[in-house]
Amino acid sequence: MTIKEVQDEILRIKKEKDICILAHSYQAREIIEIADFTGDSYQLSRMAATTPNKTVVMCGVRFMAETVKMLSPEKTVILSNSVAGCPMAEQMDKELINGIKAKYPDYTVVAYINTTASLKTVCDVCVTSASAVKIVKQIENKNILFIPDCNLGAFVAKQVPEKNIKLLQGGCPIHAAVTKRDAEIAKSLHPNAELLVHPECVPAVAEMADFVGSTTAIMKYAQESDKKEFIIGTENSIAEHLQYMCPDKNFYLLSKGLICKNMKATTLVDVLRCVQGTGGEEIELDADTITKARKCIDKMIELGG
Ligand code: 13P
Ligand code: SF4
């Protein structure tokens, strides 16, 4: 079968079975093309709460499918490929955070949405890269424990200096591996290009950027800018999608290491198998986890606007 034939078959079955396909912007182009909705983590979680379909296929990583399940427990939620996890989401567990909470009881625990459902049960509010600054600003408590990404946490701390933000040593292995030297080399190779980076990059890289934002914010910035060249400091798919969307502009990847193999684990055939009912993994969460973890997702939606 050709790519187009597989896509047509997915579209036919999903219509027949009333299935909604959500895809994170890091997914490959052929998957983005057949999705009902694509976007960053925040937009996907908003979408998950409103989609009317009984079945949702999440093309992304596990925590994103768990978020859909928490917001719509009555729906059948399928993770497109069961190996697609986010390593950052697995870095901390409930026991670690409960231990820190016992030591610092007067701290509000802010969890990046890239965390497991289990970890969210002991946190107060979730944030995404797009909503973190806005949400942290609105938290009444001055003392904040921000987990697990210390780079996003440092970015937020800089924007919200009135808060006392405690960070732990976690982060995205893909973005955090980009160095200041990578940024210097890319800038010298492309002196007219603007550097756009995700806040999961280390502060030394973020400080050199012309713009720091979520995947969707980076895409919006590049599309609306008068500039013609951009160095993209986030996952390769974003540079690829932008190159299709803006053929008159040039996009260069900040580092060749910016490829998330978990986000790339899903293939178009995986999506076909999900809609056929023979592939992917159905997400199951117990009622207690859903009730406790959902509170911090609901709080994020309330404060994120
Ligand atoms: P966004 O919040 O920008 O969608 O990013 C998610 C992610 O996994 C970044 O690595
Ligand atoms: Fe997780 Fe990083 Fe991959 Fe995003 S890019 S899904 S944070 S490992």
Task: State which of 25, 44, 59, 214 you would mutate to test the pocket of ligand 1, scoring each by most atoms of that ligand within 8 A of its C-beta.
Answer: 214
d(CA 255, CA 236): 9
Q: Whose CA is nearest to atom 3 of ligand 2?
A: 260
pLDDT at 47: 86
d(CA 98, CA 26): 32
Residues 6+ apart with CB under 8 A from 77: 55, 56, 58, 65, 68, 69, 282, 283
The one-digit pLDDT tens for each residue of the chain (305 residues) are: 999 999 999 999 999 999 999 999 999 999 999 999 999 888 887 887 788 899 999 999 999 999 999 999 999 999 999 999 999 999 999 999 999 999 999 999 999 999 999 999 999 999 999 999 999 999 999 999 999 999 999 999 999 999 999 999 999 999 999 999 999 999 999 999 999 999 999 999 999 999 999 999 999 999 999 999 999 999 999 999 999 999 999 999 999 999 999 999 999 999 999 999 999 999 999 999 999 999 999 999 999 86
Q: Across the beta sheet with 229-233, what order do the strands follow?
A: 211-212, 194-197, 229-233, 250-253
Please tell me whether residue 164 adopts helix, strand or coil conformation. strand
- Residue 283's nearest CA partner among 87, 119, 58 is 58
Q: Is 174 in the pocket of ligand 2 (CB under 6 A)?
A: yes
pLDDT at 41: 84
By the 8 A CB rule, do 222 and 45 touch? no
pLDDT at 305: 62
Which residues are 144's β-sheet partners?
A: 108, 165
Residue type, 282: E
Atom of ligand 1 nearest to the CA of 235: 10
Angle of helix 41-50 relative to helix 287-304, nearest 10 degrees, comes to 110
Atom of ligand 2 nearest to the CA of 86: 1
Write down the residue that tokens 């200096």 correspond to.
161
Q: Whose CA is nearest to atom 8 of ligand 1?
A: 114
Q: Is 214 in the pocket of ligand 2 (CB under 6 A)?
A: no
pLDDT at 204: 98
Write down the residue that tokens 């597989």 correspond to.
6
- Residue 213's nearest CA partner among 278, 134, 124 is 134
Rounded to the nearest angstrom, the distance between the alpha carbon of 92 and the centre of ligand 2 is: 15
Q: Whose CA is nearest to atom 8 of ligand 2?
A: 86
